Structure 1
Amino acid sequence: MNSWYKLHHPEIFQGTLTEKNYFEGWYFKIVDNESENVLAFIPTIAINKNSNIYMSFIQIFDGINLDVFIVEYPIETFKSSRSKFEIKIGPNYFSTNRIKLNIEREDIKIFGTLNFKNLTPLPKSFLFPGAMGIFTYLPFMETYHGIISMNHKINGKLIYQDTELNFKESSKGYIEKDWGKGFPKAWIWMQSNHFFENQRSFMLSIAKIPYLGINFIGFLCFVWDREKFYKFTTYSRANLKSLRATKKRVGIIIENSKNILIINAHAGDAAILKAPTLGLMTSRDEESMSAIIKLRLYRKTQDQALKLIFDDTGFNSGLEVMNPQDLK
């Protein structure tokens, strides 16, 4: 399948297993209908030819118990479809609509199938084939980012550490991905689709981005609110008006030509996940899946006043803050 097709389908495997320094990982967030089980499954490949590292693994994050497991498989067991998002790592299967897990090790056991429906992908066009918009077409970016579904329903069962977990119709999921050479040196990432308004989801990513010898602060922010999308991004000329951040608290004001979004996030308990640098999983990423995110979205009026669209709070939220002092 040619590279043009891949650019317009960022959910599928973007790389090859012959890359010099490369990683690609998909992030599946899974929350049951009672919010008693908050899990993330992160199937990943990581390659560094100089170190003769060829890794294929699944990182599992239990956001309630703060357990992190990394289950490795031979790189030869990684298989991907060339025309749609389907990958296999060992006996495990991941796609847009389903995951099947078959993991048994002394410290971790997970078996079962989860089905996804009513997915909420971002709107696409020729100029904006994915979350990164026109930046999708730029070569040599350190990291590329894609959003597969802002919100969807989950149905199925998992056996997790000998306990049966039931995911009914009101269970929720979120899927995104990253690929490239490695994560940036400084970033903030947050996400929630558990607001008081059921048909609402939010994600934001701010990073210090190196490109062709320069560094700039780039950001992506999307709000899905009852079938309507609001976009605040560097490439759409949105403005990051205010940023205050520590490892535990983040306050942001961001605006586009029509709207202003005020964000306040407070981290919950966190765990350490592995993150890529030049294809090596040697970096560390502290993530909370019990953060609280408060959003206020306003519409600008013709008389320069602001009209409140919604004021809501997200729970079971993901939050990562890495070197926030470098984002100023």
Structure 2
Amino acid sequence: MGRTYYAEVSMYRKGFFKGWYYKQEKGGQAVAFIPAVHLSGDGKGTASIQVITEDNAWNFDFPLDTVRLSDKKDTIQIENNYFSPKGFRVNLIGKKDGKPVKIEGRIAFGNIAPLKGDIMGPFRFIPFLQCRHGVVSMSHKTKGSIQINGDSINFHGGRGYAEKDCGCSFPSYYFWSQCGWYDRQECSVMVSVADIPLAGCHFPGCIAFVYFGGKEYRLATYLGVKILRFGEREVLLKQGNMLLYLRVQGHGGQKLKAPEKGSMDRLVKENLVCKVWCRFWKNGKLLFDHVGAGSAEFITGSSMET
């Protein structure tokens, strides 16, 4: 384990988690991988890799001593599965509902577009935050393929997105969506609105970015963003001369495990492949109005019915 990992754990005595999210898509197909480590309040540590597609989701558990973390390189290795900002390789074997599952493959990233600075801004200096978010790459090219039970999905010439989280628990409520398109100008959008508990108070916090035409536009609570509309399917944000609107189209989704006081005892639902209507104005000028393929989560309360 890296030194930063142990320093982070020491701040969260009621439990800790750290995880990454790697999504790749091409031609209406997408696969996301979520490697993570988690430490419950009683000191029991485990690791997991979750895999999600449009139609299914799988969870693979591992002992904590199979994990190798590098803080400097921002990498995680769980047994012979390796994830980094340059790409990943997986060789996962398990069972779901009594049926064998095998997921293997290798994806390389190219033309990675990192943020100009930490998406958390000055909030990154606040200790004991319930959840800290990070963006590894706003957008990048993908090369390689993934095989799921013998069926191959080719991501050569596709696009990817990568982010990460750490803390003790996911927020009690949150909206998250990420989408992108590449037919005319490359564009990637991420919006997260969530409950932020801090110093005995709660408030809705927001972090978002628009990556369009090679430029990064950021909207965030610490930059004075106003949440004009917030619900299960749509968000409207205003900050200075920028206005961003997202509306998620479509229902369904797959169940994923999420951290609650370090333990993966909570269930959330993610719609990995859905339509997201994005509109973005700057100085009163509409820069884009597009319905693209994306992913979304919206959670209320501390848990969800199974």
Displaced runs of 4+ in structure 1, greater than 4 A?
A: 16-19
Counterparts of 2:93 and 2:239, CA distance in 1: 48
1:267–1:319 contact (8 Å) kept in structure 2: no
Task: Spell out, residue by residue over 1:270-318, the C-alpha distance to the aligned partner (whole angstroms, 9 max, x if none).
Answer: 1111110100111111110122111221122xxxxx2222211221x11
Please give the residue correspondences for 1:35-114 in structure 2 after superposition, counting only pairs within 5 Å. 35=28, 37-50=29-42, 52-63=43-54, 65=55, 67-106=56-95, 107-114=100-107
Counterparts of 2:94 and 2:250, CA distance in 1: 31
Equivalent residue for 1:320, pick from 297, 300, 306: 297
Specify the alignment match of 1:207 in structure 2.
Answer: 194
Specify the alignment match of 1:182 in structure 2.
Answer: 169
2:288 is matched by which residue type in structure 1? F
2:41–2:261 contact (8 Å) kept in structure 1: no
Task: Spell out, residue by residue over 1:92-118, the C-alpha distance to the aligned partner (whole angstroms, 9 max, x if none).
Answer: 000000201111224221222110010
1:40 is matched by which residue type in structure 2? A
Specify the alignment match of 1:287 in structure 2.
Answer: 270
Counterparts of 1:18 and 1:242, CA distance in 2: 34
- Cα RMSD between the aligned structures? 2.2
Task: Spell out, residue by residue over 1:183-208, the C-alpha distance to the aligned partner (whole angstroms, 9 max, x if none).
Answer: 01010000012364450000000001
**What is the Cα deviation at residue 239 of structure 1?**
1.3
Specify the alignment match of 1:9 in structure 2.
Answer: none
Equivalent residue for 2:20, pick from 21, 26, 29: 26
Equivalent residue for 2:121, pick from 126, 133, 147: 133
**What is the Cα deviation at residue 157 of structure 1?**
2.5
1:312 is matched by which residue type in structure 2? H
Would you say how many aligned residue pairs link Structure 1 and Structure 2?
Answer: 296
1:15–1:24 contact (8 Å) kept in structure 2: no
**What is the Cα deviation at residue 14 of structure 1?**
7.4
- Contiguous gaps of at least 5 residues in structure 1: 7-11, 125-129, 301-305
Provide closer, same or farther for how the CA distance between residues 293 and 73 of structure 1 changes in structure 2, counting only shifts above 3 A: same
Matched position secondary structure for 2:244: strand
2:107 is matched by which residue type in structure 1? L
Matched position secondary structure for 2:223: coil
Matched position secondary structure for 1:122: coil
- Contiguous gaps of at least 5 residues in structure 2: 302-306
Counterparts of 1:149 and 1:13, CA distance in 2: 25
**What is the Cα deviation at residue 13 of structure 1?**
9.2
Counterparts of 2:247 and 2:52, CA distance in 1: 24
Equivalent residue for 1:118, pick from 101, 104, 111: 111
Task: Spell out, residue by residue over 1:72-110, the C-alpha distance to the aligned partner (whole angstroms, 9 max, x if none).
Answer: 111100101242112100110000002011112242212
2:108 is matched by which residue type in structure 1? N
2:30–2:272 contact (8 Å) kept in structure 1: yes
1:182–1:276 contact (8 Å) kept in structure 2: yes
**What is the Cα deviation at residue 181 of structure 1?**
0.5
**What is the Cα deviation at residue 41 of structure 1?**
0.4
2:84 is matched by which residue type in structure 1? S
Task: Spell out, residue by residue over 1:158-180, the C-alpha distance to the aligned partner (whole angstroms, 9 max, x if none).
Answer: 222112222212x1110001100
Equivalent residue for 1:237, pick from 214, 219, 224: 224
Specify the alignment match of 2:209 in structure 1.
Answer: 222
2:133–2:166 contact (8 Å) kept in structure 1: yes
Counterparts of 2:2 and 2:62, CA distance in 1: 28
Counterparts of 1:293 and 1:322, CA distance in 2: 17
2:274 is matched by which residue type in structure 1? A
Matched position secondary structure for 1:253: strand
Find out whether 1:272 has 2:255 as its counterpart.
yes
**What is the Cα deviation at residue 121 of structure 1?**
0.8
Find out whether 1:299 has 2:261 as its counterpart.
no
Provide closer, same or farther for how the CA distance between residues 92 and 17 of structure 1 changes in structure 2, counting only shifts above 3 A: farther
Provide closer, same or farther for how the CA distance between residues 76 and 270 of structure 1 changes in structure 2, counting only shifts above 3 A: same
Counterparts of 1:17 and 1:94, CA distance in 2: 24
1:110 is matched by which residue type in structure 2? I
Counterparts of 2:204 and 2:88, CA distance in 1: 35
Counterparts of 2:77 and 2:11, CA distance in 1: 18
Equivalent residue for 2:154, pick from 130, 141, 166: 166
Does 285-294 or 69-78 show the bigger shift?
Answer: 285-294
2:227–2:237 contact (8 Å) kept in structure 1: yes
TM-score (ref. length: structure 1): 0.84
Equivalent residue for 1:311, pick from 289, 296, 304: 289
